[in-house]
Structure 1
Amino acid sequence: MSRLLPAVLDVVLVVVFAAVGRRSHAEGLDVAGVLRTALPFLVGTAAGWLVASIVLDGGPRTLGYGAVVVALTVVVGMGLRALAAQGTAPSFVVVATVVLSVLLLGWRLVARLVG
């Protein structure tokens, strides 16, 4: 259970990121569209969890763990989007990196301050 909540939070926040992005570009919020947008980033999030769990001693609630998850969410997500000929404009990469950092590191920071 200790690893489940952080994983669920990361997944939910990546889906929120995709939904907000679709909404801001008037692409609609249908479930299939949001999941299609989120999928490359969710694969990156899973990769981040895998790598962080192998290379770090700290648990999934730590900022270091979150940093690895953010990095791989962005790198793998953008790589998969590039392979699928989806948008990877430099401005999108910057915005995605900032927003995902705030979301995925933000809940960890709040949990740290509260706990």
Structure 2
Amino acid sequence: MNPFRTLAAIVALTFGLLSLPVHAHSNPSGDPMYTADAPPGYAMMGDLLIARPLLIAATVIGTGVFLVSLPFTLLGGNVAEAGQALVVEPGKAAFVRCLGCTESGYKRD
């Protein structure tokens, strides 16, 4: 079999299998907040093994980019916006978000 076709088949099967839990997930209580308060196990595992390391790497790279761009952002007067976008938002998503949740930050009533 052609290597390109093999790779295409593997990618198609992977994405197909990854989408199955999304379609199969049911919310027995009917409460839309149920999925946010208690994410399923596969979401927690994917978050722990894939998303968190990528977000931590994005925070480190964003910090480096922020430091390199600091002289230009000082001249432009948008240091706060650059820091928020490059460092705070990825850091907040990596360290403040609950495991498996899609929204960052603590819930405050």
TM-score norm. by structure 1 comes to 0.30
Between structure 1 and structure 2, the one with the greater Rg is 2
Higher percent of residues as helix: 1
The structure, 1 or 2, with the larger RCO (C-alpha pairs under 8 Å, 6+ apart) is: 2
TM-score norm. by structure 2 comes to 0.31
